[in-house]
Structure 1
Amino acid sequence: MRREDFKNLFDTHFDALRNYLFYRYGDADLATDIAQEAFLKLWEKQIDKPPEEQIKLLYKIAKDDLISKLRRQQVEMKFNTRPPDKTKSITPEEELNYKELKIRYERALKEMPEIQREVFLMSRNDDLKYHEIANRLDLSIKAVEKRMKNALQYLREALTTL
């Protein structure tokens, strides 16, 4: 599909597709997002068919995406509205143990050597991969791995000793 043909298809059918989705669901923002995604998928497929078939395919893609999003929302709603599990109540002893462990963890982090703490927190709190940490700190990946190993070993020792 040529760029000009796609632009023409987009210009002539975007509003109609968005309105179709809006009337089916009633959310203008969702309708706009799905319509844009449908056009993007059609462009990525680069299907060489007559315009009538491309329009049909466009509507099918949009309808399938809408149904998929609605199903996902239903699953999320069921998950969020389910009653809490009463069998997993925390005893006062478990809560006290957790608080003590948290205090020891925070103390161990403060006492941990800075080079290890920096790598550990970038990995755990910032969810960075080792290669990303290596790039930010201008280190080799092996150096990051070693610092992380040492940090975990330090924490393990600090948390298991009383």
Structure 2
Amino acid sequence: MNQNQFKQLFDLYFEQVRNYIFYRSGDPELATDIAQDTFMRIWEKQLDPESGKEKALCYKIAGDIFVSNYRKQKTAIKFAASAVQKNSNMATDDQISYNELKAKYEQALSAMNEKQRVVFLMSRNDGLKYQEIASTLNISVKAVEKRISKALEYLDKQLIHEQ
């Protein structure tokens, strides 16, 4: 096939092939890409269709490229979905572990000595400094330090060493 014959084939069938793929895919960019690939393949392989079968050859090549592209996309989507599934399983496992730890933490807090719990929560949840806690509760800073230390030891024993 010479350059003039190829140009005539391209001019005659490009838009039809593009529309054919567009109707199958609904994606105008994909349709244009596949139509271009179709004619590139014809040119690169120097295909010389029999007279009257040019259109059939173009449609056959375009259809094959479309199916091949679809299979690649399907495989890629399947792979991505399995990766997301693995990540969501890990996230689910992490969420379960977090929920279990949170339940243990809340249980340990409720069982903690009240003086220790109050000081601990004022420090950790409210973000108060030891001096602020001491003045609020009308106790010494050393008492705050000791109660926090005891609270941390208790939580360590309940949450970490009990597992």
TM-score of the pair, normalised by structure 2: 0.50
> What are the Cα deviations for residues 49-103 of structure 1, in whole angstroms up to 9, with x where unaligned?
334223211111110110011111111111111211658x9xxxxxxxxxxxxxx
Gaps of 5+ in 2: 94-163
Gaps of 5+ in 1: 90-162
| Residue aligning to 1:10 | 10
| Residue aligning to 1:71 | 71
Alpha-carbon distance between aligned partners in 2 of 1:33 and 1:58, rounded to the nearest angstrom: 14
Alpha-carbon distance between aligned partners in 2 of 1:56 and 1:7, rounded to the nearest angstrom: 17
Alpha-carbon distance between aligned partners in 2 of 1:54 and 1:74, rounded to the nearest angstrom: 30
1:56 matched to 2:56? The reply is: yes
> Could you tell me which of 80, 84, 87 is aligned with 2:86?
84
Paired letter, 2:58: L
Offset at residue 26 of structure 1 (A): 0.3
1:31 matched to 2:31? The reply is: yes
RMSD: 2.0
Offset at residue 19 of structure 1 (A): 0.3
Calculate percent identity across the aligned residue pairs.
44
| Residue aligning to 1:43 | 43
> What are the Cα deviations for residues 87-124 of structure 1, in whole angstroms up to 9, with x where unaligned?
8x9xxxxxxxxxxxxxxxxxxxxxxxxxxxxxxxxxxx
Paired letter, 2:86: P
Alpha-carbon distance between aligned partners in 2 of 1:50 and 1:25, rounded to the nearest angstrom: 29
Alpha-carbon distance between aligned partners in 2 of 1:45 and 1:52, rounded to the nearest angstrom: 19
8 A contact 2:49–2:57 mirrored in 1: no
More displaced, 78-87 or 12-21?
78-87
More displaced, 36-45 or 53-62?
53-62
Change (3 A) 1:72 1:11: same
Offset at residue 34 of structure 1 (A): 0.4
TM-score of the pair, normalised by structure 1: 0.50
Alpha-carbon distance between aligned partners in 1 of 2:23 and 2:38, rounded to the nearest angstrom: 17
Task: Count residues in correspondence.
Answer: 89
Q: Which has the larger radius of gyration?
A: 2
